[in-house]
Amino acid sequence: MDKKRIALITGGMGGLGETITTKMHVAGYRVAVTYSPSNKTSGEWVAQMKSKGYDVKAFACDVGDYDSCKACVEQVRKEKGEIDILVNNAGITKDMTFRKMDKASWDAVIRTNLDSVFNMTKHVYDGMMERSWGRIINVSSVNGSKGAFGQTNYAAAKSGMHGFTKSLALESARKGVTVNTISPGYIGTKMVTAIPKDVLDSKILPQIPTGRLGKPEEVAGLIIYLCSEEAAFVTGANIAINGGQHMQ
Ligand code: CAA
């Protein structure tokens, strides 16, 4: 890497996000993360990171809100510099069968998991195109590819993310800006361990040929590859990382 590139990771304090953040820091990137304005422990988190040797800046941002994203990106630019890499990682679940799904649960998931991709990308994209280098990585899910019981909202958002990836990758390819989706399967984070144990043990684990949950480090490794110079020819891809649970 000729200079230390700057990466912005949404939801960078979360289960998967924190590992992506620390691994990217170790790989030599300058890292900024966003966190939800409702998170009251961000100061503690930054201090904890610092005590472990990770120099990470954190910015409050409601990724579902366009103006909040605009303000956040401006702030990151002012404090750290131009953003070379955007990892759209922030996401939530509100799992319930469609019969029980209310409009609020649908809207919340689409807003945080899909609107966020537009809201964040919009404010970093022009700069990447002007500088002729950029990496946009959208963290989708195996369930966006195969569907999941209780996840009409989540699967719709995660699947929509990949349509966005493919279209933007066409527009940005000639300018050295790659846009990719990664689709992790069930990774050992809070989001997955919150699934009722009987459902996880009887309905989900048996579908995973490796017989185990994935590790956040395994997903972070894939993201670091996609950020590298060697990955310049990978664009518009949807890379599965799911222990063989769903093969495309
Ligand atoms: N497959 C088939 N049937 C299932 C099922 C499944 N995965 N899960 C529940 N059911 C069945 C139950 O056995 C039950 O059947 P009976 O009525 O015949 O006994 C019925 O569905 C229950 O239906 P309800 O509407 O009452 O459902 P519920 O309120 O008990 O819970 C649920 C439904 C919230 C969807 C619950 O099953 C659940 O949490 N499932 C896990 C969903 C999931 O995989 N989420 C992924 C989270 S992690 C993530 O999203 C990260 C990522 O990207 C991979």
How many domains does the chain contain in total? Answer: 1
| Residue 1 maps to a domain | no
pLDDT at residue 42, as a whole number? 87
| Residue 247 maps to a domain | no
Mean pLDDT for the chain? 96
Q: Which domain holds residue 154?
A: 6-241
| Residue 18 maps to a domain | yes
Model confidence over 112-137: pLDDT tens digits? 999 999 999 999 999 999 999 999 99
Gap between the Cα atoms of 57 and 72, Å rounded? 12
Q: Residue 74's domain is classified under what CATH number?
A: 3.40.50.720
| Residue 246 maps to a domain | no
Rounded to two decimals, the pTM is 0.95
Residues with a CB atom less than 6 Å from ligand 1: 93, 95-97, 100, 141-143, 148-151, 154, 185-186, 191-192, 195-196, 199, 203-204
Model confidence over 77-96: pLDDT tens digits? 999 999 999 999 999 999 99
Gap between the Cα atoms of 205 and 187, Å rounded? 11
pLDDT at residue 1, as a whole number? 54
Q: Is 231 helix (H, G, I), strand (E, B) or coil?
A: helix
| Residue 116 maps to a domain | yes
| Residue 248 maps to a domain | no
| Residue 166 maps to a domain | yes
Please give the number of the atom of ligand 1 that sits closest to the Cα of 141: 53
Gap between the Cα atoms of 248 and 126, Å rounded? 33
| Active-site option among 35, 125, 154, 186 | 154
Gap between the Cα atoms of 86 and 227, Å rounded? 10
What is the whole-number distance in angstroms between the Cα of residue 69 and the centre of ligand 1?
Answer: 33
